[in-house]
Structure 1
Amino acid sequence: MEFKSQELWDRIETGLVDDRSEPPTQQVRENRKKDAKVLFLIQQALDNSIFSRITAADTSKQAWDILKQEYLGDEKIIKVKLQTLRRDFELLSMREKESVEDYLSRVSALVNLMKSYSDEINNITVVSKVLRSLTSKFYYIAVVIEETKGLSTYSFDELTGTLLSHEDRLNRSTEKTEEKAFQVKGELQSKGKVDSTSWKWPDNTTSRGQGRGGYRGRGR
């Protein structure tokens, strides 16, 4: 339910102030119309088993508060859960073999969960955290971003695009290195200058098929 993008979140946040003892002004009518729209969106997003719990709600804020209490619990429970989520966020880091897409999906899921508990985590906090927690192969691109981009206006989506492009270049570079190694090996073998069982990969590059069955290319 994208209430903020449709400029409807204020109806839930502040509630509908509607004095029915006075003739409605144009602003009051607009507020009623907005509130009815939000309440309708909330109702449409629920299945029948949950919908029955908010049927008595006259305003969107009433319905939202019922759902918030139902799913998030009271303030003490929310505070404890939020503390746990914030600790998870601080400890978050990219795994060595993890792709950018997978890591940023984990970050996004955790941030969205924090926001569902009313955490006001901002964009610069998330972007800075990601840049600090990448694996070493992203060190230089992280430095470039920090030094050339205004992190206060550099969005998470922009960061995602930059990191995905950088990862793609790294992968293509690795593939070219391995392809070049295969070519050199093939040329040397064709000239009889190297035995396939004693080939050593240049620059510590390893074959993807090396090591199967315990075989390490040193002969038996």
Structure 2
Amino acid sequence: MNTYLQVHDLWNVVDNNTEPALLRANPTMAQIRQHNEECAKKHKAMACLQNDGSDVIFTRIMACDSPKQAWKKLKEEFMGSDKTRQQQLINFRRDFENLKMRELETIKQYPDKIMAIVNNIRLIGDDLSDSRVVEKVITTLSENFE
């Protein structure tokens, strides 16, 4: 959704929640058109947030007054609170550290399993370097792949 709003030049409205500046005295037609477009962005962003989800999502954000408020509610709903995300991060990091290749796993299955955990860690917002991931794969391969 973030990318979708960025593509349509609406992310700044969601992120900053700013109102466009008032028109100066004796504005030109171009300035009036530009001002009207800027005023409409807030409503376009709300429409994107409300229409691109399911009915359940719509009912959760329909009472929100601004795109920023709706985004915050959606983020909380789908990503959880900071405390929840922190606990998820701890769990994913533990899974990552404890992961070892099983004897019956193929060389394709094991990195896929690692990348699933790494992607979850990155989705939460924590950075896990590529070099650390490669190191994990190399150090935890089973003996027959050494």
What is the TM-score when the length of structure 1 is the normalising length?
Answer: 0.46
1:77-88 residue pairs with structure 2 within 5 A? 77-88=84-95
Are the aligned partners of 1:43 and 1:51 in contact in 2 as well (CA < 8 Å)?
A: yes
The offset of 1:76, in angstroms, is: 1.9
Q: What are the ranges of 5 or more consecutive residues in structure 1 without an aligned counterpart?
A: 140-220
Structure having the higher Rg: 1
SS in structure 1 of the partner of residue 144 of structure 2: helix
Change (3 A) 1:87 1:48: same
The yes-or-no answer on 1:94 pairing with 2:101 is: yes
The yes-or-no answer on 1:66 pairing with 2:73 is: yes
Aligned to 2:113: 106
The one of 106, 122, 126 equivalent to 1:115 is 122
Q: Which has the higher contact order (CA 8 A, sep 6+)?
A: 2
Q: What are the ranges of 5 or more consecutive residues in structure 2 without an aligned counterpart?
A: 24-30
Distance 2:138 2:63 in 1: 47
- The structure richer in helix per residue is 2
Are the aligned partners of 1:39 and 1:63 in contact in 2 as well (CA < 8 Å)?
A: no
- Describe the superposition over 1:18-63 as per-residue Cα deviations: whole angstroms up to 9, x where unpaired: 2334348x7xx68x86x9569727852x32222321234432x433
Distance 2:101 2:89 in 1: 22
- Describe the superposition over 1:57-88 as per-residue Cα deviations: whole angstroms up to 9, x where unpaired: 432x4333212222333222221221111111
Aligned to 1:75: 82
Count of residue pairs the alignment pairs up: 131
Q: CA RMSD for the aligned pairs? A: 3.7
What is the TM-score when the length of structure 2 is the normalising length?
Answer: 0.64
Aligned to 1:22: 22
Are the aligned partners of 1:96 and 1:135 in contact in 2 as well (CA < 8 Å)?
A: yes
